[in-house]
């Protein structure tokens, strides 16, 4: 029995007629149009296509992490998809170099016709931000209006539904809370880590006391270590951590933070390789989005100086505010503050090492 093979043409499969006919310069047609407007349109259309792909990847990652029990094979899939997202973000940052081949005078040839259009009205980028965990309470607002006021109908409804739904931040937090390594087989990680930190800091103080220093230098260095002690004590206190969450000084739960710390400290154990890479990929994504925002600021400074944005925002001023304020996984990045050298790392009991490694028995 022969199978009927359908014939798919390259043009039809990619809907190239729709894509290539989707550039409509407002400055005119053909030679009457401002030459640089075509580049401006294509760059932003390309951004939107990449946003669509990133949303596709993030949706799949969230789906894989929603289950109570996660197949270890899926962690590898998630890491590879997050790596793809980060490579796309690198491409988005690189595209700004192409846009910057357009000079300020070139842009002014058609800028007035763009108002009130603005990148702030990108539904896909706002959707992506909310999916990652940037909800309305954490946003830097401008003009006294919520960001979703830019949208109407189905687009606004979709954004508001995402505001009420779990984000990637929530999914990751729940996953970290479920990881069963914090207290297994009588190995209490938090207590062991606390003891290791105290041993490390006390040894540093003893070293300072015997070092050839002036009394003033010695006093300053010891005071700094004593402050470090207080910092570690606050971090390891669940009560203090919860107060910090109430005061919006941190967002990640205490248990999730301790799990992330354990993963970072024992990353050399085979079973923790992929979880560690996943956490690093989230931090990298945060940094790449911040880099994209910052590069956008630099471009706006060169193009527009202090001019108000076409959408009514304060141009570069608004963009600068979002670079740091709109980071989502800062708590994961701050885990680096809690790292201690391997020489002080509490030794895992052999049975736990076996469960975290590749243990073969006959």
CA separation (Å) from 144 to 97, 149, 313, 333? 33, 10, 11, 31
If phi > 0 it is left, if psi is from -120 to 50 it is alpha, else beta; for residue 28 that is left
Domain CATH for 30: 1.20.58.480
Query: What's the pTM?
Result: 0.87
The pLDDT assigned to 151 comes to 79
As a whole number of angstroms, the distance between CA 148 and CA 19 comes to 27
As a whole number of angstroms, the distance between CA 62 and CA 278 comes to 13
As a whole number of angstroms, the distance between CA 352 and CA 348 comes to 6
Axis-axis angle for helices 37-65, 72-99 (nearest 10)? 170
Domain presence at residue 37: yes
Across-strand partners of 45? none
**Can you give the residue range of the structural domain that contains 300?**
24-135+277-324
Domain presence at residue 74: yes
CA separation (Å) from 182 to 176, 243, 279? 10, 22, 17
> How far is residue 74 CA from its own chain's centroid?
20
Domain presence at residue 248: no
The pLDDT assigned to 361 comes to 44
HSE-CB of 306 using CA atoms within 13 angstroms: 0
* Structural domains in the chain (count): 1
Across-strand partners of 183? 188
The pLDDT assigned to 210 comes to 87
The pLDDT assigned to 362 comes to 42
Domain presence at residue 81: yes
Domain presence at residue 131: yes
Residue 335's CB is within 10 A of a number of other CB atoms, namely 20
The mean pLDDT values, 10 residues at a time, for the chain of 362 residues are: 72 95 90 91 96 97 84 87 98 94 90 76 92 83 69 89 92 89 75 92 90 89 90 90 91 94 92 94 96 87 65 57 82 93 87 63 43
Residue 142's CB is within 10 A of a number of other CB atoms, namely 17
Domain presence at residue 296: yes
As a whole number of angstroms, the distance between CA 251 and CA 330 comes to 9
Domain presence at residue 173: no
H-run or E-run covering 183: strand 183-184
Read off the tokens for 35.
Answer: 């030459």
- 5 DSSP 8-state letter: P
Domain presence at residue 123: yes
**Cis before 159? omega within 30:** no
- Residue 190 — φ and ψ, nearest 5°? -60, -45
As a whole number of angstroms, the distance between CA 77 and CA 2 comes to 37
């Amino acid at each position: 029995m022969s199978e009927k093979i359908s014939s798919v043409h390259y043009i039809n499969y990619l809907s190239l007629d729709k894509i290539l006919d989707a550039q409509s310069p407002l400055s005119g047609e053909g030679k009457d149009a401002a030459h640089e407007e075509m580049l401006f349109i294509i760059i932003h259309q390309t951004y939107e296509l990449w946003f669509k792909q990133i949303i596709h990847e993030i949706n799949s990652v969230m789906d894989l992490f929603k289950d109570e029990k996660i197949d270890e094979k899926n962690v590898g899939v998630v890491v590879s998809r997050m790596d793809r997202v980060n490579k796309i973000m690198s491409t988005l940052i690189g595209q700004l170099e192409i846009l910057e081949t357009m000079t300020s005078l070139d842009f002014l040839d058609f800028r007035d016709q763009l108002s009130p259009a603005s990148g702030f009205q990108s539904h896909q980028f706002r959707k992506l931000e909310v999916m990652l965990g940037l909800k309305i309470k954490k946003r830097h607002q401008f003009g006294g209006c919520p960001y979703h006021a830019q949208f109407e109908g189905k687009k606004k409804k979709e954004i508001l539904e995402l505001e009420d739904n779990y984000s990637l931040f929530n999914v990751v937090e729940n996953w970290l809370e479920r990881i069963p390594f914090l207290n297994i087989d009588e190995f209490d990680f938090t207590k062991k880590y606390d003891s290791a930190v105290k041993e490390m800091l006390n040894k540093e103080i003893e070293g300072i006391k015997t070092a050839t220093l002036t009394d003033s230098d010695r006093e300053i260095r010891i005071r700094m270590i004593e402050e470090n002690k207080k910092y570690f004590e606050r971090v390891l206190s669940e009560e203090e951590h919860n107060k910090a969450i109430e005061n919006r000084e941190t967002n990640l739960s205490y248990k999730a933070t301790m799990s992330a710390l354990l993963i970072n400290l024992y990353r050399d154990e085979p079973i923790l390789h992929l979880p560690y890479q996943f956490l690093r990929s989230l931090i990298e994504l945060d940094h790449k989005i911040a880099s994209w925002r910052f590069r956008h600021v630099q471009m706006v400074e060169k193009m527009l100086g202090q001019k108000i944005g076409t959408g009514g925002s304060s141009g570069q001023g608004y963009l600068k505010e979002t670079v740091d304020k709109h980071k989502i996984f800062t708590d994961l990045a701050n885990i680096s503050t809690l790292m201690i050298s391997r020489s002080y790392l509490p030794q895992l009991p052999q049975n736990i090492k076996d469960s975290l490694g590749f243990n073969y028995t006959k």
